[in-house]
Structure 1
């Protein structure tokens, strides 16, 4: 009898271990269903139409008001600058809304138990939801950009496909980072109300609090409170050397952990836009001509990768242990 009990216990332990493992086929199945549901609900097509309209409207404005830019061959540069400022705000909002009910909605309605009664582990569901929602955002971005490319090329005349593609790629990576944050938070909340509050909190954190931090740091540095202080550096202004001041290195590190700032920095690497490169040159002057590692373009991809991996890792650990 003790042998039978031990065997049963062993079977249960094995089953519990298997249920928490990752099955790529299950992940793919969950992601595929999630994507197909979005297509059937017209969410995907609505997002594609939105991105298409955004690009066409900005391009139309540039072609109408930017004759001087066209003469300089800088229209694609300005398109990247203007659209990136809009997508920097819009893409996170879309990602947070898409990820909001991804798992919290399933838990609230009880359908998560039906989903888990199929051969899917909790990790499969979490990863599948992330991949499915990321695919909705990424493919809709791609469709919108590709369809708009013909109109953009026709209206701008001078059209740099490399810069245009760089903007698309960077926007997708940026969107996936926010999607990881959104889906991960959704998996950690038991209701859509709590999940919605979490999404709102994320937006406020990065677009209100994070932006206010720099002003707070400047104020503290002006008064030399605690370890806050300015660093003096020499710059060239109108052909003459001048002394200027900047914040401490660690302050810039904190500010650049913002996904939005990483998105902007990444565009400098993937595009050849003068405005972005000039800002990079100004930043280099502040640090004696060579940017520290955390301000270099390639590091922005590492920051976005961390925003994808870290929330997901926490969610995979916690979601496997919460009571549904």
Structure 2
């Protein structure tokens, strides 16, 4: 278990770690990225994203003739790819960050790295930037190489939507990379780090959804009180029930939901008019700020900044 550094000797050893040297951060990030390129990790990810896009575009071109005739092929491509990246990107990011710090602590190479003029904060930020660069550039290369083929397959191709999907996928991937690197810095072994990564995946893809289902169940059993609103259908008014505001807030801060909602702003994959009207009716025409699409960017930025900020504070104080 990690312990706080409390002795005088330990304090003097870790004192330099309170500062951040940008040149040192850049050097660590560069080496981390170059190691990934040499191990073919970067090219493997680029090939994967390339094949994913081409496969989805090929299926859409083959089975979606009516969609193509309606001129909405890029919009549907964004929707289909986002469904895939919603699951795939967190897995890739968590695997990328899994051994970033824990592996070096387990092998003891972290002490050699820190014997050079690098502070702990430099190492942590360098690893985050390096792993984020691997994921971001592999996404960019995969999207760029697939772009020509996708455009040829679809016939109708919106570059703005395509680039918007890429940009949001990068932001979403960096959020999970930050979570992964941060957790890796707080664990002594790759086994514990791996368990932590699995726990994060279960949290956001099983537990988070289960919380909303549990709230709905408790409302159905009468243990929680729902909110009521008036819904008009064909000129007639009906009383309907919805989840409490705090339940919607819990649901909104899931990175996956934030990613999907943010795509509505930067691409043509917008919500349906019926969905927008229903949401407005549920909140009497005043949708809370945390359910508005622009707030999704704040949530994604939070998941990038908050984990690494906590890790920067804690990593200075753990016993290596």
TM interval, shorter chain, is over 0.9
What is the DSSP-based 3-state SS (H/G/I as helix, E as strand, rest coil) of the residue aligned with 2:200? helix
Which one of the candidate residues 17, 20, 23 is aligned to 1:22?
A: 20
| Alignment correspondent of 2:295 | 299
* Residue deviations 1:201-254 (CA, integer Å, cap 9, x gap): 0000000000111110001112231xx211122234456543322101110001
Stretch moving more, 286-295 or 193-202:
286-295
| Alignment correspondent of 2:81 | 83
Contact conserved, 2:45 with 2:138, CA < 8 A, in 1?
A: yes
Change over 3 Å in CA distance of 1:238–1:59 after alignment to 2: farther
What is the DSSP-based 3-state SS (H/G/I as helix, E as strand, rest coil) of the residue aligned with 1:158? coil
* Residue deviations 1:120-172 (CA, integer Å, cap 9, x gap): 00000000000000000011011111111111111111111111111111111
Q: Which consecutive residues of structure 2, in runs of 5 or more, have no partner in the other structure?
A: 1-9
| Alignment correspondent of 1:319 | 315
| Alignment correspondent of 1:7 | none
Contact conserved, 1:104 with 1:192, CA < 8 A, in 2?
A: yes
Change over 3 Å in CA distance of 1:221–1:172 after alignment to 2: same
Change over 3 Å in CA distance of 1:100–1:310 after alignment to 2: same
| Alignment correspondent of 1:258 | 254
Q: CA–CA distance in 2 between the matches of 1:257 and 1:49?
A: 31
Q: CA–CA distance in 1 between the matches of 2:11 and 2:138?
A: 42
| Alignment correspondent of 1:3 | none
Contact conserved, 1:268 with 1:276, CA < 8 A, in 2?
A: no
Stretch moving more, 236-245 or 76-85:
236-245
What is the DSSP-based 3-state SS (H/G/I as helix, E as strand, rest coil) of the residue aligned with 2:287? coil
| Alignment correspondent of 2:3 | none
**TM-score of the superposed pair, with normalisation by structure 1:** 0.92
Cα offset for 1:263?
A: 0.6
What is the DSSP-based 3-state SS (H/G/I as helix, E as strand, rest coil) of the residue aligned with 2:294? helix
Stretch moving more, 136-145 or 281-290:
281-290
| Alignment correspondent of 1:35 | 33
Contact conserved, 2:101 with 2:181, CA < 8 A, in 1?
A: yes
| Alignment correspondent of 2:180 | 182
Contact conserved, 1:122 with 1:320, CA < 8 A, in 2?
A: yes
Change over 3 Å in CA distance of 1:123–1:60 after alignment to 2: same
Contact conserved, 2:14 with 2:316, CA < 8 A, in 1?
A: no
Q: CA–CA distance in 2 between the matches of 1:286 and 1:58?
A: 35
Q: Which consecutive residues of structure 1, in runs of 5 or more, have no partner in the other structure?
A: 1-11
Stretch moving more, 282-291 or 62-71:
282-291
Higher relative contact order (CA 8 A, sep 6+): 2
1:123 aligns with 2:85: no
Cα offset for 1:287?
A: 1.4
Q: CA–CA distance in 1 between the matches of 2:147 and 2:237?
A: 44
Q: CA–CA distance in 2 between the matches of 1:299 and 1:164?
A: 22
| Alignment correspondent of 1:46 | 44
Change over 3 Å in CA distance of 1:33–1:221 after alignment to 2: same
RMSD: 1.8
- Tell me how many residue pairs correspond in the alignment: 312
